Structure 1
Amino acid sequence: MKRLIRYSIFILLTAALAYVGYRMLPATSKTTPTEKSEKKEHSDAIALSDAKILAAGIELAKASAGVLRDSLLLNGIVQPNQEALVQVTPRFPGIVREVRKRIGDRVQKGDILAIIESNQSLTTYELKASLGGTIIDRQTSLGEFVSEQKSAFIIADLSTVWVDFSVYRRDLRRVSVGDQVLIDPADGGKPIEAKISYLSPVGSSDTQSALARALVSNSDQRLRPGLFITGKLTLSAKNVNIAVKSSALQTLENRNVVFVRSGEKFEARDVEIGDRDQEFVEITFGVVEGEMYAAQNSFIVKAEMAKGTAEHEH
C-alpha cells in the first residue's frame, strides 16, 4: 500500500515538472497568427520610389481589356507601291543643261525636273513630273546625254507602300487575302494595322516560299522602301476582360503573381490566368481593370522583395 502511494506521488511530481518546463519555454519559440500575418505582409509587398522605378527601367502599365491573338510571324520588305510610281523619260534625245530636282525631293505634278537641249532642234524643253510624290531615283546629271530609251527620274507616291512578306510552304494554307497583319516598323511606335491584299499564285524555287502583300497607308512616312520588316499575321482573336503583359507574370513561392502598384508599394497579387498569346496573358482573378502593374522588368521587383524579406529575417 505504501509503495502504491509513493508511486502515485512520483507520477504527480513528474507531470507537474513537465508542465512548469513547458510554461518556461522562450516566447520566441511560438509564432502568433498576428506575427505570421505581419511576416507575410512584409514578404509580399515592397516600397519603391518613382525615382527607383525609373532607374531600374520598370515599366508601369494599366490592366485593361485586351485581345489575345494566335499569330504567324512573317518577314518582309517595304516596297514602293508600283501602282503609284512613274518613270519620267525624256521626249527627245539631248543634253541635260539644268537639273532642278534631286533624290528625296518632293514634287507636285507639273514641277520642272530638268531642262534638256534637243539634239534635233537645238532648242531646250522642260522635263516635268507627271505624278506628285517623292523622287526615289535619278539616272541623269548635268551635261549628260539622255534619250527616250532610259528614264531620267523615278517618282513614287509614298503615302501608300507595299509590304511584301515571304510565306513558307508549310504555312501557305493558313494565309488568306483579307487576313489582318500587325506590322512592326521598328521605330519604337505602335504596330501598324493592315490587311493582306494579294497572295501570289506562284512560289519561289530558291526560298520555297510565296509572296503575301499588304497595301499599307504611309502618310506619316514610318515605312521606308528597301527596309526589312516583320509582321504578325492574325490567325484568330479572342477578346478578354483583363489582360496584362506576359512579362509581368512572376512565380513567388510556387504562386503565379503580378506586382500591383499602390501608392509607393508593389504588392505581389496572386492571380489566376487563362489564355495567352506571345505578348499578353488573360487574368481571370486577382487584378481588376485600371490597376497599375509592373509590366516590364518585373523580376527586379521580385528581387527587391526577396532582398527585403532576407533583411527582415536577420
Structure 2
Amino acid sequence: MNQDKTMFNKSHFVFLPMSSLLSIAALILLIMSPAIAEDGHAHEAPQSDQQAQAQLAESNQQHDHEITHDKDNHDESMPKEDEHDHSAESKPEEEGHAHDAEDEGSEHVEMDDGMAQKHGVVTAEVTAGQISVTSKLYGRVVLSPDEISQVRARFPGQITRVYVNFGDSVKKGQLLASVESNNSLQSYNVTAPISGVITAKDANTGEVAADQSLFTITNTQSLWAELKVFPGQAMNIKPGQKVRLLHNNTFYESTIKQLLPSKDDAPYRIARVALDNQQQVWFPGLLVEAEAITEQTEVKLRIPNSAIQQFEGASVAFVKVGNQYQVRPLQLGLNDGQFSEVISGLRQGDDIVAENSYLIKADLEKAGAAHAH
C-alpha cells in the first residue's frame, strides 16, 4: 500500500472525468468572452465615431434652423409700433449729433470790439447801391496852363528891391519886387498874380527890368490828368462823365472836363480831368490809371471789394455777430473795381468787415493749421 501511495504522488498527470473537463472549458470560455467581444468591436469603432459626429452636426444644424425659425416668427409677431418706437428713440440722438457737427463745422474768429479797434478791423452795413460799368484809361499828370504865371515889370526900369527867393511859396497879391520907372522915375510894386511857388527867378536888386520874365510862379494845388482815349473807346467816353483815378491804392473821383485832339496827329484823343491837389498827393509827370464810368446799374446788395477774401477756394466775407466774425461764402455778380454785387450769401443789414478783413482770414488759417497738427 505504501508503495502504491508513493507512486501516485510522483505522477505528473491528473486524470479527471470527461464531465469535469467540459465544465472547466465552459468556464474558461465564459471568462474570456468579454475580451473577445471587445476585439470584435474594435474594428467597427472608427465607423461608429464618424456616424456619431455626422449625427451631432445634423442635430446642431437642425437646432440652429429651429432657432432661426423661432426668431423669425418672433420678429414677424412683433408689433409695428415697436419698430417705429425704436427709430423714434434713436432720431433725437441723431439730430443732436447733426447739430453738434454743424456747430463744430461753423468757422469763425472770436474778437471783442476793443481788440478789433486796436487792429483796425472796420465793419460796414450791407446795402443796395450802384455798380458801375467802366472803361480803363491811362495817362499822366500835367500842370495846368492856367496855373503857371510869368511875372514881368509893367514899365522898364531899375529893380530897387526883391522880396522873395527861388522856391518860396507866395499868395496872390503878395509883394515880389520894387521897380523905379525910367520914364517917371517913380517906384512901383510888382505883385504875384496867382498863388503858388516861385519856380524861376530872374530878378536881382540893381538890375534893369525890361520885357524879360522876372519870376515864374507855379500853382501845384490844381493839376490835370490827361488821359488817352483810343478809337475803340471813343464812342463811350464823353465830357461830364465821372472818372475814378487810382493812386497809392486809393480812388479819387473827378469829372472829364474836355475832350481834345492829340498833339502831333497821334491816333487818340485827350480826356482832361481836373485834380484837386490840396493835399499834395499828385505830382506833375506822374503816370495814372483811371476808370471812366460809362454806365451805372442798381443792385439789391453790394459790398466793397476790400471786404472780399479768398478762403478755402471760395470768395467769402466775414459777418460780425456779437464778438464773432463768421465766414460767409458768397456768390458774386457785377464788379466795377470798387464794389461787387452779392447774389447770395449775405442779407441787407448784415454787418461785414470792410477794412483789414485779411486779418480775420489770417486768424482762421492759423487756427486751421493748428487743428491739422
CA distance in 1, matches of 2:231, 2:293: 18
Which is further off, 246-255 or 96-105?
246-255
Q: Are residue 278 (structure 1) and residue 337 (structure 2) matched?
A: yes
3-state SS of paired residue (1:177): coil
**Count of residues in Structure 1 that have an aligned counterpart in Structure 2:** 293
- Which residue among 110, 113, 124 is the counterpart of 2:176? 113
Query: Counterpart of 1:24?
Result: none
- Which residue among 195, 198, 201 is the counterpart of 2:255? 195
Deviation at 1:266, TM superposition (A): 0.9
Query: Counterpart of 2:75?
Result: none
5+ unaligned residues in a row in structure 1: which ranges?
16-30
Query: Counterpart of 1:40?
Result: 102
Deviation at 1:54, TM superposition (A): 5.5
TM superposition score normalised by structure 1: 0.73
CA distance in 1, matches of 2:206, 2:246: 42
Q: How does 1:20-169 map to 2 (within 5 A)?
A: 32-44=94-106, 45-50=108-113, 53=116, 58-83=121-146, 85-102=148-165, 103-109=167-173, 111-118=174-181, 124-129=187-192, 131-143=193-205, 145=207, 147-155=209-217, 160-169=222-231
CA distance in 1, matches of 2:61, 2:244: 93
Alignment CA distance shift 1:252-1:79 (3 Å): closer
Structure with the higher fraction of residues in helix conformation: 2
Deviation at 1:58, TM superposition (A): 4.4
Any idea what the Cα deviations from partners look like across 1:184-228, whole Å, max 9, x if unmatched? 454x87x443221211223556x754321023455x455655252
Query: Counterpart of 1:259?
Result: 318
CA distance in 2, matches of 1:46, 1:225: 42
CA distance in 2, matches of 1:138, 1:200: 29
**Identity level (%):** 23
Work out which of the two has the higher radius of gyration on C-alpha atoms and give 1 or 2: 2
Q: Are residue 248 (structure 1) and residue 248 (structure 2) matched?
A: no
Query: Counterpart of 2:50?
Result: none
5+ unaligned residues in a row in structure 2: which ranges?
1-57, 73-92
Contact in 2 for aligned 1:135/1:153 (Cα 8 Å): no
Q: How does 1:220-259 map to 2 (within 5 A)?
A: 220-222=278-280, 224=282, 226=284, 228=286, 229-250=288-309, 256-259=315-318
Deviation at 1:249, TM superposition (A): 3.1
- Which residue among 336, 358, 364 is the counterpart of 1:305? 364
Give the residue type in structure 2 aligned to 1:293: I
Contact in 1 for aligned 2:140/2:285 (Cα 8 Å): yes
Query: Counterpart of 1:25?
Result: none
Alpha-carbon RMSD across the aligned residues, in angstroms, is: 3.9
3-state SS of paired residue (1:91): coil
CA distance in 2, matches of 1:165, 1:63: 34
TM superposition score normalised by structure 2: 0.63
Alignment CA distance shift 1:43-1:149 (3 Å): farther
Alignment CA distance shift 1:300-1:35 (3 Å): farther
Contact in 2 for aligned 1:98/1:116 (Cα 8 Å): yes
Contact in 1 for aligned 2:159/2:203 (Cα 8 Å): yes
CA distance in 2, matches of 1:271, 1:105: 52
